[in-house]
Amino acid sequence: MVTREDVEHVALLGRLELTEEEKEIYTRQLNDILGHFQALQRLDTGNIQPTAHVLPLKNVYREDWVGQHMPREDALANCPDRDENYFKVPKIV
Amino acid sequence: MTNYETVIGLEVHVELKTRSKIFCDSTTEFGGEPNTHVCPVCLGLPGVLPVVNKTVVEYAIRAALALNCQIAGFSKFDRKNYYYPDMPKNYQISQYDLPIAGHGYLDIDVNNEVRRIGITRLHMEEDTGKLVHQGTITTTPYSLVDYNRAGVPLVEIVSGPDLRSPEEARVYMEKLKTIIQYTGVSDCKMEEGSLRCDANISIRPVGNEQFGTKTEIKNLNSFKALYRALSYEVERQTGVLNKGGRIVQETRTWDEREGVTLPLRSKEYAHDYRYFPDPDLVPMIIDPEWVEDIRRSLPELPDARRERYMQEYGLPGYDAGILTSTKELADFFESCVSAYPNPKAVSNWMMGDLSRLLNAGGVELTACKIKPAQLASLLQLMDEGIISGRIAKTVFEEMFASGKDPGDIVKEKGLVQISDKSAIMAVVEDVLAKNPKSAADFRAGKERALGFLVGQVMKTTRGKANPELVDKLLKEKLLQEKL
Ligand SMILES: [Zn+2]
């Protein structure tokens, strides 16, 4: 059962600002979704390995060599604010 | 008053010295202008795909094997989600429930007792970027971010709650550093942040099975800080419990300047990371043959090497422990002993004059100008009586400064020992003539006067006279004249 407090907590972790109305809607919707998954929980999955990846792939590696770096101006091009060669971010705490 | 027992577990982060980052081909080189060692992958730009650097997995296995860990057959990467601008993606790629290795241990020596400390797990993850604040994190108007370190490979090594004192924690950390350095997967430079440590610490009444409430201490960036912070925390927690208070489970930071631990606001480190498997990265099935190949390539590790030094070279445990404390020191020692097979003499010079000069000059052994073969030939010159032990020390200092061969220094500076009996006797007679009082004192039974007279002869010959001969001739002369 997802409570309104759960929704507020998840919103905080995701840095989402929700209106009272949205909290109401999401509490209801998240409960609907979890209800749907409860149907799946009736299946016996005792002999099934947990899924780590949806594709049948394994051991994809790259060799340890150094390639081209991005020009710094490209790296900083999209940042909302900068201070010389640094990304500038709002006060954290 | 209740007696308490301390319980400590350490989480140690070790930066691996691969050429490129863990999920992209940006360089791991230390330093560099801000935000120049980056690419779309480590900047977390949309649409990029991380791919695991195979050498990172190899190094992690290498470190794990050196710590007696079992290597997982199946392992994967997970996303650790949190909002903090040290990672541009708002998550860090780490390993959660299926780490690459675990169930290991390392043995530490504390007060001549061997204690086995469990290694609960060892996992791979990416390092974060660096935040620059103006003043402190709480007073700065804004922060600056450099992503050069973001994506540099790390292993996190988590010990069991097996350490029982700040001293044990320090010894564990030193041992761990030594072992990792032997494997060659990291420089373990605490000052450059390639070795970092967080500690979990609690206390409980002696005899209690159940753990007390723990605090987590961050920012322990030197062996001294680790020891001091934990000692402070033991005192603090004991004080709280003795006053009938309760320990609050929290994260604290070590304030080096004030010498105290302080609570961090809980919001900063909300432990609600919502881990889930990273869908961009596929699972790793570790081939046991690969693991065995890596095991075979491991060098002789410190414990085995120390044991061998005691057995094969007959060195005391203390010498063996110091000489094997870094791979470089041990390699230097062995190379020198192969040219001059008197292990104890080599050990004495290395632990004495060599380490004194290295410490005084702040020089690493790898940058030392004296080569093992040169120390060996210095010892040979002494054995052959060409120079005295006293002159050897002067020559050694010159070798340290210039890197020249000891034989060349002896020739250039005319330091060859005077072993010519008549030449020394002439000086002895001269010294006795100039110091009749000391001579009389010695004859009257004051043994100490001899030391002064020997000193005078050595001074006159600028240290070059053969000390044994000086001693012998002085005594001869003094006793002769007494008769
Ligand atoms: Zn990159």
Structural domain harbouring B33:
4-290
Torsion of CA B424, B430, B434, B438, to 10 degrees: 40
Residue B154 or B83, more confident: B154
pLDDT tens string B323-368: 999 899 999 999 999 999 999 999 999 999 999 999 998 888 988 9
Q: CATH number for the domain including B475?
A: 1.10.10.410
Please enumerate, as own/partner, the contacts of B221-224 that have beta carbons within 8 Å and a separation of 24 or more: B221/B190, B221/B193, B221/B196, B221/B197, B222/B190, B222/B191, B223/B170, B223/B173, B223/B174, B223/B190
Cα distance between residue B481 and residue B483, in whole Å: 5
Say if residue B268's pLDDT is above 60: no
pTM > 0.90: no
Percent share of chain A, pLDDT over 70: 99
Residues B365 and B393 in one domain: yes
Phi and psi at B109, nearest 5°, equal -105, 110
Taking residues B114-143, report their average pLDDT.
90
pLDDT at A41 (0 to 100):
85
Residues B28 and B88 in one domain: yes
A91 Cβ contact partners less than 8 Å away, ≥ 6 residues apart: B140, B141, B142, B143
Domains: count for chain A: 1
- Asked whether the predicted pLDDT for residue B482 surpasses 70, the reply is no
Q: What is the pLDDT of residue B271?
A: 67
- Per-residue confidence (pLDDT) for residue B158, from 0 to 100: 98
| Residues B359 and B339 both lie in one domain | yes
Q: Residue B266's pLDDT is what? A: 57
Percent of chain B topping pLDDT 70: 98
**Domain finish residue from B290, B325, B351:** B290
Name the nearest CA neighbour of B299 among B334, B253, B264: B334
Domain count, chain B: 3
pLDDT of B483 higher than 50: no
Region B68-94: mean pLDDT is: 94
Whether A76 maps to a domain, the answer reads no
User: Which carries the bigger pLDDT value, residue A40 or residue A64?
Assistant: A64
Is the pLDDT confidence value at B391 over 90?
no
Overall average pLDDT of the B128-133 stretch: 91
Q: Is B207 in a helix, a strand, or coil?
A: coil
Boundary-marking domain end, from B266, B290, B314 = B290
- pLDDT exceeds 50 at position B197: yes
CA distance B305 to A13: 50
Average pLDDT score over residue span B106-132: 94
Structural domain that includes position A30: 4-41
Residue B224, helix vs strand vs coil: helix
Selection from A45-59, B303-317, B353-367 with the highest mean pLDDT = B303-317
Contact B132 A86 (CB under 8 A): yes
Tell whether the model's pLDDT for residue B181 goes beyond 50: yes
Helix axes A20-40, A4-13, angle to 10 degrees: 100
User: Same structural domain for residues B286 and B305?
Assistant: no
Closest CB from A66, A84, A85 relative to B27: A66
- Is A13's Cβ below 8 Å from some Cβ in B? yes
Same domain for B354 and B464, yes or no, is no
Average pLDDT over residues B239-246: 94
ipTM of the complex: 0.90
The verdict on a CB contact (< 8 Å) between B18 and A64 is: yes
Averaged pLDDT for residues A15-43: 92
Q: Specify if A57 maps to a domain.
A: no
Domain CATH code at residue A20: 1.10.20
Query: What pLDDT score was predicted for residue B297?
Result: 96
Are B174 and B127 part of one and the same domain? yes
The reply to whether B295 falls in a domain is no
Q: Report B:249-278 residues touching A (Cβ under 8 A).
A: 265, 267-268, 270, 272, 274, 277
The reply to whether A18 falls in a domain is yes
What is the 8-class DSSP label of residue B267?
A: G
Q: What is the pLDDT of residue B68?
A: 97
Q: Is the pLDDT of residue B3 over 80?
A: yes
Q: Torsion over CA of A28, A33, A34 and A36, rounded to 10 degrees?
A: 130
CB contact under 8 A, B272 and A13: yes
Residue A9: inside a domain: yes
